[in-house]
Amino acid sequence: MGGAVSAGEDNDELIDNLKEAQYIRSDLVEQAFRAIDRADYYLEEFRDSAYKDLAWRHGNIHLSAPCIYSEVMEALDLQPGLSFLNLGSGTGYLSTMVGLILGPFGVNHGVELHQDVIEYAYQKLEFFIKTSDSFDRFEFCEPCFVMGNCLEIAPESGQYDRVYCGAGVQQEQEDYMKNLLKVEGILVLPLEEKLTKITRTGYNSWETKNIIAVSFAPLVLPKHRDNSKPKAVPLPTMFEVRTLQDLARISIRLTLKKTVAGPGPLPRRRLAHNGEQLRRAQHCGSTLLSNRYVFMSRLIPGPMDDNNRSDTEEEEEEGNCRILGEPEEEEEQEEEGEESREGGALLHEAPVNLLRERILGLPLPEPLKMYMLHYREK
């Protein structure tokens, strides 16, 4: 399923196309999509296909088409602090985007049938945490994946605010899926060739809405030997007691974010004088604007000089895209043709991560600053 949207040359252009086609309709969903490069979840030899609006499968590894994930994210109506269950969590791409919205006090669980896919998902999750320039932009709800058949979840498992199933569900399996939901919860699933949103309005009442026609591989039915007892799939603990240290770190980071920048506008493309879209350099990643600044970070900085800036940072900034001016300044520059060029390419000012700069400027020991930057050695 897919192909409704024209291919992009990078992740941002793919998101632009999804917005234009009205698959992405909310700012929150757009931010999550821009924060994670879809190509990072492809095997290296298949990355050239990442920005096409098509599903991709290689062995047990599978990604749905971008237009499908867009509709799913919009239908889930995600909010910070909710609990989410992903049935058939696959590469973890969707779960990671959801985690950016759920925030540090949400719950983010996934059930996956194949052990090799779970290992692949954890590799991609670790890569995102350690290398993504978007990681400092959000307080992240890290997904936890367990292996098993999602039709065999232990009966004593808790119910969730949001549930998504990434495989085709038949009518006789619908009630089982509904029972995974809390009252006022939302279930999104491919039900008999239609992507369907089911809202639990009461203990025994539901509202159902068909979204779009889809084609998904059906759920794999459990296989048991004769007279053998089914092995229930235990889900992770719904809520764990957080350490005071962890809660303090989250609280301080959130406070610092409020003081350095507001939510700011979403990124928008500028047109060059020849009418072609100015595309971001690939090394700038899928970053988000906040006020006049692009959030870029390296989780482990080099040695700090008196200005809390390392030689490595200065070298990186010389090669990275630079911050854009205020909208009025941009219009004046475009009218007067004042964009500076070097070798025919447009130059932009260097990006600044305000939260990171504020933390590095605090009169604290370096190990504590690193902890505040949320680096975790795994």
The residues annotated as belonging to the active site are 64
User: SS3 for 154-191, per residue?
Assistant: CCCCCCEEEEEECCEECHHHHHHHHCCEEEEEEEEEEE
CA–CA distance from 26 to each of 32, 156, 378 (Å)?
A: 10, 35, 34
DSSP assignment, residue 233? B
Q: Please give the Cα distance from 20 to 156 (Å, whole number).
A: 44
Contact predicate 148/113, CB 8 Å = yes
SS3 268: coil
Q: Please give the Cα distance from 322 to 109 (Å, whole number).
A: 37
DSSP assignment, residue 363? S
DSSP assignment, residue 48? G
